[in-house]
Amino acid sequence: MRTNKLPITLAQFGCGYWGPNLLRNFSALPDCRVKYVVDPSEERRRYVAHAFPGVTPVECLETVLDDPEIDAVVVATPARSHFRLATRALESGKSVLVEKPLATTTAEIDALARFESSGLVVMAGHTFVYNSAVRYVKNLIDIGELGDIRVIYSQRLNLGRIRSDVDALWNFAPHDVSIIQYWLDGAAPSRVSRHGMAFVQDGIEDVVFLNIAYPNKVIANVHVSWLSPQKVRRITVVGSKKMIVYDDLAEEKIAIFDKGIDRTATLGERMDFDQPERTPFSYRSGAIVLPRIDFIEPLRVQAQHFIECIRTGQAPLTGTAHARGVVEILETAERSLEMTA
């Protein structure tokens, strides 16, 4: 926790595909100063020097680790390097924000969580938890507007960008699993399985279906793919009272459907087969509501939250507990794949 009002001084590891977005948002915060960006690529260092003239691009990690002025490090590198780089930063006494996933095993996350006892912040970049539309749905679930949650199914599809360091599941699904876990208050699944196929690169699945079952009769299906003719970012939530479609690409990101099926007879009640039109169910099809969502860039909200956590000592919303729940589901899915191989 920082008790003074001086700006929090940051460094960032990596400025490739996603790094510039993080750098842009942190650089714009009034109570934050980005001092260094570390990247082994000379081309990326030139980009940083041109686009962010107040930031010093460096090649050597030690420049950051040995600088006592650095309060925190943002890790925006390939997933397999997250644990190693986060550990180095934490060992140097610096808080960390790590792009999703925080690490690739729960054991690694547990190792990072031990640094929290010394007052350091360990936070995962699960950006969608800071999305206004996602938070709007969370509030509707919490106040019971949807009734009992029954089914959640998501699609995160695109044509590319194909990765070689992780498969489509580890590339895309952390977003959706993070959202689902946030909506369900971090509930522990009772069963996890995955089915996928590698088409473009041997051993790296391009299309994956992840199935998650929860003890309170909630099921979730996550479909991820980088072999799709259309870009899709959609999650449907089916409740006993109402249903929601959250479409991150649509202008109206939330649609609330007053639709459902209600039982009008008890399970033990016999149907009248002489009047087959009389069924023990009624179908509701009411209004569709498109609520107005005040949008603030989620990365900006996430960056400000990280700075606040460093300054106040509060636990991050996407701290190690949340990150562990996400990785545990993906890790369990990996084991289910190995068992069926």
pLDDT at 335 (0 to 100): 85
Which has the closest alpha carbon to 120: 111, 108, 130, 112?
Answer: 112
Which has the closest alpha carbon to 209: 225, 228, 233, 198?
Answer: 225
Query: Does 249 score more than 60 pLDDT?
Result: yes
pLDDT at 272 (0 to 100): 56
Say how many C-beta atoms besides its own lie within 10 A of residue 58's C-beta.
Answer: 17
pLDDT at 285 (0 to 100): 85
Structure tokens at 189: 């699944």
Query: Does 178 score more than 70 pLDDT?
Result: yes
Query: Does 223 score more than 90 pLDDT?
Result: yes
Q: Which residue has the tokens 């993080």?
A: 22
Could you tell me the CA-to-CA distances from 175 to 126, 198, 267 in Å, in that order?
6, 21, 39
**CATH of span 8-127+298-319:** 3.40.50.720
In tens, the pLDDT along 192-213 reads 999 999 999 999 999 999 999 9
Could you tell me the CA-to-CA distances from 215 to 184, 200, 201, 329 in Å, in that order?
12, 36, 36, 14
User: Side chain identity at 340, as an amino acid letter?
Assistant: T
Given the candidates 3.30.360.10, 3.90.660.10, 3.90.1300.10, 3.40.50.720, the CATH classification of the domain at 129-297+329-340 is 3.30.360.10
- Comparing 279 with 170, which gets the higher pLDDT? 170
- Are the C-beta atoms of residues 109 and 320 closer than 8 Å to each other? yes
- Are the C-beta atoms of residues 220 and 153 closer than 8 Å to each other? yes
Query: Does 266 score more than 60 pLDDT?
Result: no
pLDDT at 263 (0 to 100): 75
Separation of alpha carbons 149 and 147, rounded Å: 6
User: What are the sequence ranges of the domains in the chain?
Assistant: 8-127+298-319, 129-297+329-340
Element containing residue 22 per DSSP (H, E)? helix 19-28
Which has the closest alpha carbon to 167: 124, 213, 200, 125?
Answer: 200
Separation of alpha carbons 27 and 300, rounded Å: 10
Within this chain, domains 8-127+298-319 and 129-297+329-340 share the same CATH topology: no
Burial 174-210 (b: 16+ CB within 10 A, else e): bbbbbbbbbbbeebebeebbbebeeeeeeebbbbbbb
Separation of alpha carbons 168 and 161, rounded Å: 10
In tens, the pLDDT along 18-76 reads 999 999 999 999 999 999 999 999 999 999 999 999 999 999 999 999 999 999 999 99
Separation of alpha carbons 155 and 136, rounded Å: 19
Model confidence at 164, pLDDT cuts 50, 70, 90, reads confident
Query: What number is the average pLDDT over the span 284-312?
Result: 95
Query: What number is the average pLDDT over the span 91-106?
Result: 97
- Are the C-beta atoms of residues 184 and 221 closer than 8 Å to each other? no
